[in-house]
Amino acid sequence: MPDRVYNFSPGPATLPVEVLQQAAIDIVNYNNKGIGLIEMSHRSKDFMAITVEAENLIRELLNVPQNYQVLFLQGGASTQFAMVPMNLLGPGKKGSYLNTGVWAKKAIKEANIVASAQVAYSSEGSKYDHVPADGDYTVDPAAEYLYFVSNNTIYGTQFHTMPKSDKMLVCDMSSDIMSRPFDITPFGLVFAGAQKNIGPAGATLVIVREDLLDRVAETVPTMFRYKTHAEKGSMFNTPPCFAIYTIGLVCKWLKKIGGVPAIEKINREKAAILYEAIDSMDFYRGHARKDSRSLMNVTFNLPTPELEARFVQEGAKRGLDGLKGHRSIGGIRASIYNAFPKQGVIDLVAFMKEFAKSA
Ligand SMILES: *Cc1c(COP(=O)(O)O)cnc(C)c1O
């Protein structure tokens, strides 16, 4: 096993070491076939099997029924901000949005280019320190869907339960997909950039209810239609082969350790250790309101920006890497996704205690 730092990076983020080791072998020589994984045709039998297996594992882990399509697309989660309204709304139609952070706000901007967005709720006025509860907002009756971001990566807030609505839900789950079980049936569409919780950068997972594929207008270019990719099993054009393969490996790893319910338990343990430390010392202040705290990204501040800079630097020297908060809120952010080891959280808390004493 190589000497590894504890990687608190928000994304691309830490992956299970056994996944990296397997990928390192397969990149050079896939399955002893004498050909490297990333030089194989995407239409080869071997690669088609990799894609089908990855899809089936996702279906199994997330309990996705057959009337949903599972797609691997490119362009990052950010492309979905536009593709969602292009496919589900179109001119004259409206989606309802919960503005709980930068990623939600960017999605609202794109929705207003393509169609129109009702902003049913915004926590921008309090630096996005919380997410709304059901009843804190009213969805426009004319809206086609209710769009939200389940975990706000930058601010460290998360919906502890999914919003309830008579509209179908659309969700950006980029930073918490597969971190906890959820019932997909109220959702029309779920998407996630792979690079936070399920793989490397390059692929965006889209799970979309089949009956929605036909909503798309003739004016939407071919590559931007979900239908195009659904009809071709994500092989309309060259897909992000390496990312799909690695997502498959991450899913196998997750399945082996007990699936999504098992990882949720570990995620809760890790987050509890860290929040407990923050709450027990006056020196540290959590950014997120307690009712909205994220299990994936833990954000906090020290008394001054100078101390925060020193904390990040000294942490890195001890192998606690990537703790700097997002430039929009500063402070510290510890991203502790599925693959992040519990021992890294324990080490971080030990460092926090020492640092608070010495500062
Ligand atoms: C990182 C992130 C994005 C942006 O993802 P890209 O793949 O870089 O476009 C969108 N939404 C959320 C919630 C994120 O965490």
C-beta of residue 23 within 8 angstroms of C-beta of residue 249: yes
Query: Taking phi first (over 0 means left), then psi (-120 to 50 degrees means alpha), and beta for anything else, what does residue 203 get?
Result: beta
pLDDT at 328: 84
103 is catalytic: yes
Fold topology of 17-256 = Aspartate Aminotransferase; domain 2 (3.40.640)
253 is catalytic: no
Give the 3-state secondary structure of 136-162.
CCCCCCCCCEEEEECEECCCCEECCCC
Average pLDDT over residues 158-176: 98
C-beta of residue 216 within 8 angstroms of C-beta of residue 332: no
Q: Ligand 1, atom 2: nearest CA belongs to which residue? A: 174
Average pLDDT over residues 186-198: 98
- Mean of the per-residue pLDDT values for the chain? 97
What's the whole-model pTM score? 0.98
pLDDT at 19: 98
Cα separations (Å) of 154 from 104, 271, 278, 345? 11, 16, 18, 19
Average pLDDT over residues 196-206: 98
Distance from residue 35's CA to the centre of ligand 1 (Å) = 33
Q: Ligand 1, atom 8: nearest CA belongs to which residue? A: 76
Q: Which atom of ligand 1 is nearest to the CA of 101?
A: 13
Q: Ligand 1, atom 7: nearest CA belongs to which residue? A: 76
pLDDT at 329: 87
Provide, rounded to the nearest whole percent, the portion of the chain with pLDDT above 90. Answer: 97
Pick the CATH number of 258-358 from 3.20.20.70, 3.90.1150.10, 3.40.50.1100, 2.70.70.10: 3.90.1150.10
Q: Which atom of ligand 1 is nearest to the CA of 150?
A: 13
At 2, the pLDDT band (50, 70, 90 cuts) reads: low
C-beta of residue 101 within 8 angstroms of C-beta of residue 78: no
What is the DSSP pairing of strand 94-99 with strand 6-7? unpaired
Domain parsing of the chain, residue ranges: 17-256, 258-358
The answer on pLDDT for 335 being more than 60 is yes
Return the exposure string of 192-204: e unless at least 16 CB atoms fall within 10 Å of the residue's CB, then b.
bbbbbbbbbbbbb
The answer on pLDDT for 90 being more than 90 is no
The answer on pLDDT for 359 being more than 90 is no
> Is the peptide bond prior to 65 cis by the omega test (within 30 degrees of 0)?
no
The answer on pLDDT for 1 being more than 60 is no
pLDDT at 333: 98
Structure confidence by residue, pLDDT tens digits, 28-84: 999 999 999 999 999 999 999 999 999 999 999 999 999 999 999 999 999 999 999
Q: Which residues contact 24 (CB under 8 A, 6 or more apart)?
A: none
Backbone angles phi, psi at 24, to 5 degrees: -60, -35
Cα separations (Å) of 153 from 90, 115, 268, 282, 333? 28, 26, 17, 24, 9
Q: Ligand 1, atom 14: nearest CA belongs to which residue? A: 174
Distance from residue 79's CA to the centre of ligand 1 (Å) = 10
The letter for the amino acid at 166 is: D
Q: What is the DSSP letter of 171?
A: E
- Helices 102-114 and 76-88 pack at an angle, to 10 degrees, of 40
Q: Ligand 1, atom 3: nearest CA belongs to which residue? A: 77
Selected catalytic residue, list 26, 129, 176, 196: 196
Selected catalytic residue, list 26, 129, 167, 172: 172
At 9, the pLDDT band (50, 70, 90 cuts) reads: very high
Q: Which atom of ligand 1 is nearest to the CA of 78?
A: 9
Distance from residue 357's CA to the centre of ligand 1 (Å) = 36
Cα separations (Å) of 353 from 148, 173, 280, 310, 335? 36, 33, 10, 14, 19
Task: Among 103, 151, 179, 327, say which to mutate for ligand 1: greatest number of ligand atoms within 8 Å of CB.
Answer: 103
Q: Ligand 1, atom 12: nearest CA belongs to which residue? A: 174
Average pLDDT over residues 248-271: 98
CA distance 191 to 58: 12
**Both tokens of residue 146?**
């209710």
Q: Which residues line ligand 1 (CB under 6 A)?
A: 11, 76-78, 103, 149, 153, 172, 174-175, 193, 196
